[in-house]
């Protein structure tokens, strides 16, 4: 199946679910979904044997600076969002499912019941971005050490971290 | 971390460790007698916080950081990155630069596969094979040093092209080196496919069907050894691969032996492709200009590292530093396969099984937790390795 | 084609090692505290036929309890730090540490990253630093030679022990 046909097939498969479809270039299609549509969309791709899941990438969208400053930092917690990209590949064609969740309700359903190999990606997303994945089989930390404080998500922009051991060797 | 489901288990760290040491093992195996009934993985010993680090470095500085995600496949990381950034900038490196990138990438694949051959052999106790393959590997290390100035971290890439050229003398040296290595590879293929002790530890071991490989998300030679037809150089060719295509190498065996055979066959393909590029290397510039601020946008860059598909997601906000870089290494895909395939195998098979996916052997100090009946022991990797060797003696 | 010959400067250094090793055969243990593996593969390369460091009695083995020398790479990730200290504590006196690679010296390219401590000497007293990214096998062997030379001229053992005591967290 050549890339153009592949992407057209993907568009048709995801029509019932996608809020918006964007052709980024001739090899890339982005499909914006709401969190409730994610699981069904992934299942549709899987059942049609469209490509394979290549990666799950989190992208932080912190609250706009002006809002954050004006509200004394409180709005940061309310207005920030995490965008999660589920990237599927079929040959050279790249299909990205994009879901956004607000910090205040950072939850997504697992896709591990459909794609078991997603467990490591989901674990990484949880610890790095603080997105709760409901139903994921393993919730242990994958990369961060046990003593890493709860609630500190390294890849959120609001998390400013220096070297692990600065002047005070007692801090982590 | 322990399998809480099994109720009566409790943790008793035993072994050459301090009695009070609470240590997360890299791997945890639950065994019933000799057979593995459960396996899990915990990464993180090498977690440095690189993705966050990229947000604080310029586009050029990041080449040096990302190269050092892995010393064994540093060039493919840099290549995936610069190809992505060039796409965002709307430029294409000149053809000669792409050709040199590809030659370096294939030389890296050679060094990586030979390194792996030695390490995998060492895991099984075949130290002669380890010594021979690493001795021969010195040939390709010399070639990489000749063209780049360094044995490891050749740093060939700049944004927009490459740093060094290949003149006639260097190309001849490469050809001579490849001739030697090709002859040696024939010998290794013979050993791997005919030596009885070797076959006893690899044939039928770690069987993964094509369906399993696809469900479990395997990539690279590990997947191709189970018949999965996936190779980014062929599926989505980049750099010079559109002009100098490679052949797909697969095997239907799906076992450890197949994983050895696939990597050795890939070596022959490396030799062929490098020669083809050298014979017809395009003339021209080595670099093209890339702006300091990269236009805003997102891109996805996929390349075929020696271990499989390497995935980069790069987002620019129009500034001098990236907004976000996500790196998904091939080893991350393949860990999942080991954890599933391990079940049903003997504990003694674990070292070779793990070696079979060619993991980034981040520490030869990996700790393994072995849960048996009601006790839990902490073994060093060396313990596990020796256990496997003694079992098969 | 594989080149096993080394030049004459090297021959002299190798003679020195041979002499020393006949008297003291250092046993080394290698630990990766989170490096990219670049240094580790060059350390392993010293065992292979071209460099063959074992013929001089320098033996790389697996147990801290039998080791004189700890050869350490990497920028010390948080997970690796405790293990590194534990290994050092298990080594009998006299014991020495060789930090191999830029990461071990300063954190290297990872300086400032959130999961790394940085240089190995933030965690342990280091006797020899071998710079490079990675250092060549020859440079690593040279680092070991420097250590052996300094032992011949007498390194105060007490210094090594109190240095660690000073660095341990309260």
Residue A72 pLDDT grade (very low, low, confident, very high; cuts 50, 70, 90): low
A59 and A101 Cβ atoms separated by less than 8 Å:
no
Assess if residue B88 is contained within a domain. Answer: yes
- Is the pLDDT at C74 greater than 50? The verdict is yes
Residues of chain B with pLDDT under 70: 1-26, 360-367
What percent of chain A is predicted at pLDDT more than 90?
65
Instruction: Write out pLDDT tens, residues B121-157.
Output: 888 889 899 999 999 999 999 999 999 999 999 999 9
- Are the Cβ atoms of C78 and A172 closer than 8 angstroms? yes
Is A52 part of the contact surface with chain B (CB cutoff 8 Å)?
A: yes
Position B5 scores a pLDDT of: 30
Position A69 scores a pLDDT of: 63
ipTM of the complex: 0.90
Q: Looking at chain A, which residue has its C-alpha nearest residue B298?
A: A24
Please indicate whether residue A1 or residue C134 has the higher confidence score (pLDDT).
C134
Please indicate whether residue B51 or residue C61 has the higher confidence score (pLDDT).
B51
Assess if residue B376 is contained within a domain. Answer: no
Looking up residue B149, the CATH number of its domain turns out to be 1.10.645.10
Position B325 scores a pLDDT of: 97
A99 and A35 Cβ atoms separated by less than 8 Å:
yes
Contact residues for B169 (Cβ-Cβ < 8 A; gap 6+):
none
Residue C19 pLDDT grade (very low, low, confident, very high; cuts 50, 70, 90): low
Closest CA to C124 of C100, C149, C89, C94: C89
- Are the Cβ atoms of B363 and C32 closer than 8 angstroms? yes
Instruction: Write out pLDDT tens, residues C80-104.
Output: 898 899 999 999 888 899 999 999 9
Could you list the residue range(s) of the whole structural domain that residue B258 is in?
51-331
Assess if residue B20 is contained within a domain. Answer: no
C72 and C98 Cβ atoms separated by less than 8 Å:
yes
CB atoms within 10 A of CB B197: 12
Assess if residue B138 is contained within a domain. Answer: yes
Assess if residue B109 is contained within a domain. Answer: yes
Instruction: Write out pLDDT tens, residues C144-169.
Output: 878 877 776 655 433 333 333 333 43
B332 CB-side CA count, 13 A:
22
Tell me the pTM: 0.88
Which residue of A128, A142, A154, A163 is the best one to mutate when testing the C interface, meaning the one whose CB has the most C CBs within 10 A?
A163
Give me the mean pLDDT over the A160-165 stretch.
53
Q: Looking at chain C, which residue has its C-alpha nearest residue B111?
A: C41
Position A166 scores a pLDDT of: 34
Distance (Å, rounded) from C-alpha A131 to C-alpha A122?
9
Which among B52, B217, B335 has the least Cβ separation from residue A155?
B52
Which among C2, C112, C133 has the least Cβ separation from residue B136?
C2
Per-residue DSSP letter, B48: -
Assess if residue B134 is contained within a domain. Answer: yes
C27 and C59 Cβ atoms separated by less than 8 Å:
yes
- Is the pLDDT at A65 greater than 60? The verdict is yes
Is A172 part of the contact surface with chain C (CB cutoff 8 Å)?
A: yes
Position C107 scores a pLDDT of: 93
Please indicate whether residue C136 or residue B364 has the higher confidence score (pLDDT).
C136
Is B21 part of the contact surface with chain C (CB cutoff 8 Å)?
A: yes
Q: Looking at chain C, which residue has its C-alpha nearest residue B15?
A: C63
Assess if residue B45 is contained within a domain. Answer: no
Neighbors of chain C by Cβ distance (3+ pairs < 8 Å): A, B
Neighbors of chain B by Cβ distance (3+ pairs < 8 Å): A, C
Give the total number of structural domains in chain B: 1
Round the average pLDDT of chain C to a whole number and report it: 80
Instruction: Give SS3 for C56.
Output: helix
Assess if residue B325 is contained within a domain. Answer: yes
Per-residue DSSP letter, B318: S
B369 and A140 Cβ atoms separated by less than 8 Å:
no
If residue C42 lies in a helix (H) or strand (E), which one and from where to where? Answer: helix C38-45
- Are the Cβ atoms of A145 and C79 closer than 8 angstroms? yes
Please give the structure tokens belonging to residue C9. 């400067």
Position B360 scores a pLDDT of: 66
Edge-to-edge, what's the strand order for the sheet holding B324-328?
B297-305, B308-316, B324-328
- Is the pLDDT at A28 greater than 90? The verdict is yes
Please indicate whether residue C164 or residue C37 has the higher confidence score (pLDDT).
C37
Instruction: Write out pLDDT tens, residues A90-99.
Output: 999 999 999 9
Give me the mean pLDDT over the C43-60 stretch.
82
- Are the Cβ atoms of C122 and A165 closer than 8 angstroms? yes
Distance (Å, rounded) from C-alpha A41 to C-alpha A31?
10
């Amino acid at each position: 199946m050549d890339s153009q046909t592949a992407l057209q097939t993907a568009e048709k498969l995801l029509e019932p679910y996608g809020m918006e479809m964007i052709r980024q270039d001739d090899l890339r299609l982005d499909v914006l979904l709401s969190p409730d549509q994610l699981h069904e969309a992934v299942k549709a791709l899987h059942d049609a044997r469209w490509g394979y899941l290549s990666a799950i990438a989190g992208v932080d969208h912190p609250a706009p600076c002006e809002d954050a400053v004006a509200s004394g930092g409180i709005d940061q917690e309310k207005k920030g969002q995490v965008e999660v990209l589920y990237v599927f590949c079929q040959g050279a064609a790249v299909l990205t499912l994009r879901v956004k969740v607000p910090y205040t309700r950072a939850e997504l359903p697992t896709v591990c019941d459909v794609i078991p190999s997603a467990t490591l990606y989901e674990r990484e997303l949880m610890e790095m971005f603080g997105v709760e994945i409901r139903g994921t089989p393993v919730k242990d930390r994958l990369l961060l050490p046990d003593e890493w404080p709860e609630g500190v998500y390294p890849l959120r922009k609001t998390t400013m971290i220096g070297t692990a051991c600065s002047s005070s060797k007692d801090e982590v | 971390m322990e399998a809480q489901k099994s109720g009566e288990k409790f943790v008793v760290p035993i072994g050459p460790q301090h009695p009070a040491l609470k240590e997360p093992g890299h791997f945890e195996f639950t065994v019933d007698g000799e057979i593995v009934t459960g396996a899990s993985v915990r990464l993180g010993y090498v977690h440095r916080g690189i993705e966050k680090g990229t947000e604080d470095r310029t586009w050029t500085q990041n080449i040096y950081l990302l190269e050092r995600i892995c010393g064994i496949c540093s060039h493919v990381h840099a290549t995936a990155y610069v190809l992505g950034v060039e796409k965002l900038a709307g430029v294409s490196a000149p053809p000669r630069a792409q050709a040199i990138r590809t030659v370096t990438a294939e030389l890296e694949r050679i060094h990586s596969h030979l390194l792996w051959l030695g390490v995998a052999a060492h895991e099984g106790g075949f130290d002669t094979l380890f010594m021979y393959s690493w001795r021969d590997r010195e040939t390709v290390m010399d070639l990489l040093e000749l063209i780049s100035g360094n044995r490891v971290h050749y740093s060939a890439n700049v944004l927009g092209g490459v740093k060094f050229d290949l003149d006639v003398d260097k190309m001849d040296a490469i050809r001579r080196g490849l001739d030697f290595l090709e002859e040696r590879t024939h010998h290794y293929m013979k050993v791997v496919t005919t030596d009885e002790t070797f076959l006893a530890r690899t044939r039928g071991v770690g069987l993964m069907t094509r369906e399993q490989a696809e469900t479990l998300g395997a990539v690279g030679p590990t997947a191709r050894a189970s018949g999965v037809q996936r190779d980014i150089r062929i599926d989505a060719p980049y750099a010079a691969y559109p002009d100098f295509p490679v052949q797909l190498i697969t095997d239907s065996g799906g076992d450890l032996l197949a994983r050895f055979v696939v990597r050795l066959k890939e070596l022959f393909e490396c030799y062929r492709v490098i020669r083809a590029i050298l014979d017809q290397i395009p003339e021209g510039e080595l670099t093209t200009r890339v702006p300091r601020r990269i236009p805003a946008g997102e891109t996805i860059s996929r390349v075929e590292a020696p271990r499989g598909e390497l995935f980069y997601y790069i987002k620019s906000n129009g500034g001098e530093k990236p907004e976000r870089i996500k790196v998904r290494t091939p080893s991350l895909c393949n860990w999942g396969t080991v954890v599933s395939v391990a079940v049903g195998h003997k504990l003694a098979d674990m070292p070779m099984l793990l070696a079979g996916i060619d993991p980034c052997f981040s520490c030869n100090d990996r700790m393994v937790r072995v849960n048996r009946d009601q006790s839990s022991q902490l073994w060093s990797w060396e313990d596990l390795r020796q256990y496997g060797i003694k079992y098969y003696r | 084609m594989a080149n096993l010959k080394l030049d004459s400067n090297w021959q002299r250094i190798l003679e020195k090692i041979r002499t020393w090793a006949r008297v003291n055969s250092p046993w080394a243990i290698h630990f990766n505290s989170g490096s990219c593996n670049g240094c580790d593969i060059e350390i392993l390369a010293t065992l292979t036929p071209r460099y063959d460091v074992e013929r001089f009695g320098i033996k790389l083995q697996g147990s801290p309890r039998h080791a004189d020398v700890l050869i350490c790479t990497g920028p010390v990730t948080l997970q690796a730090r405790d293990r590194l200290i534990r290994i050092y504590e298990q080594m009998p006196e006299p014991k020495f540490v060789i930090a191999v690679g830029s990461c071990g010296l300063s954190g290297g390219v990872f300086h400032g990253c959130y999961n790394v401590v940085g240089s190995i000497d933030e965690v342990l007293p280091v006797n020899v630093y071998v710079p490079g990214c990675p250092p060549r096998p020859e440079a690593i062997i040279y680092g070991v030679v420097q250590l052996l030379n300094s032992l011949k001229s007498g390194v105060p053992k007490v210094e090594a022990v109190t240095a660690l005591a000073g660095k341990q967290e309260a």
